[in-house]
Amino acid sequence: MSKLGVVIVGTGMIGAVHRRAALLAGATVRGVVGSSPERAKEVAQAWNVPRVYRDVEEALADPDVHVVHVCTPNHLHRPLAQAALEAGKHVVCEKPLATTLDDAQALAALAASTGLIATVPFVYRYHPVVREARARIAQGELGPLRLIHGSYLQDWLLDPASNNWRVDPALGGTSRVFADIGSHWCDLVEWVSGERFVDVSAAFETVIAERAAATGQSFATPAAGGAMQAVSSEDVAAALFKTGNGTLASLTVSQVSAGRKNRLWFEIDGAHASVAFDQEDCERLWIGLPDQREETFVRGPAAGSAEQRRLSVFPAGHAQGYGNCFEAFVADTYRAIDGEQPEGLPTFADGLRSAMIVDRVITSARARAWTAIG
Q: Are residues 87 and 162 in the same domain?
A: no
- Rounded CA-CA distance 220/102 in Å is 33
Q: Are residues 176 and 298 in the same domain?
A: yes
DSSP-derived secondary structure letter, 178: I
Q: Are residues 295 and 354 in the same domain?
A: yes
Provide the domain limits for residue 104: 5-123
Q: Are residues 76 and 142 in the same domain?
A: no
Of the residues 99, 123, 147, the one at which a domain ends: 123
Of the residues 93, 108, 123, the one at which a domain ends: 123
Q: Are residues 57 and 136 in the same domain?
A: no
Pairing of strands 5-9, 28-33: parallel
* Contact predicate 234/177, CB 8 Å: yes
Length of the chain measured in residues: 374
Q: Are residues 287 and 140 in the same domain?
A: yes
pTM of the model: 0.94
Q: Are residues 149 and 236 in the same domain?
A: yes
Query: What does the pLDDT read at residue 5?
Result: 97
SS3 (DSSP) at 354: helix
Please report, for the domain that includes residue 269, its CATH number: 3.30.360.10
Q: Are residues 103 and 195 in the same domain?
A: no
Residue type, position 156, single letter: W
Of the residues 123, 157, 189, the one at which a domain ends: 123
Q: Are residues 104 and 144 in the same domain?
A: no
Please report, for the domain that includes residue 44, its CATH number: 3.40.50.720
Q: Are residues 326 and 226 in the same domain?
A: yes
Q: Are residues 133 and 235 in the same domain?
A: yes
Number of domains in the chain: 2
pLDDT in single tens digits along all 374 residues of the chain: 469 999 999 999 999 999 999 999 999 999 999 988 899 999 999 999 999 999 999 999 999 999 999 999 999 999 999 999 999 999 999 999 999 999 999 999 999 999 999 999 999 999 999 999 999 999 999 999 999 999 999 999 999 999 988 999 999 999 999 999 999 999 999 999 999 999 999 999 999 999 998 877 666 666 656 789 999 999 999 999 999 999 999 999 999 999 999 999 999 999 999 999 999 999 999 999 999 999 999 999 999 999 999 999 999 999 999 999 999 999 999 999 999 999 999 999 999 999 999 999 999 999 999 999 98
- Rounded CA-CA distance 178/85 in Å is 28
**Phi, psi torsion values for 115, nearest 5 degrees:** 75, 5
Q: Are residues 336 and 277 in the same domain?
A: yes
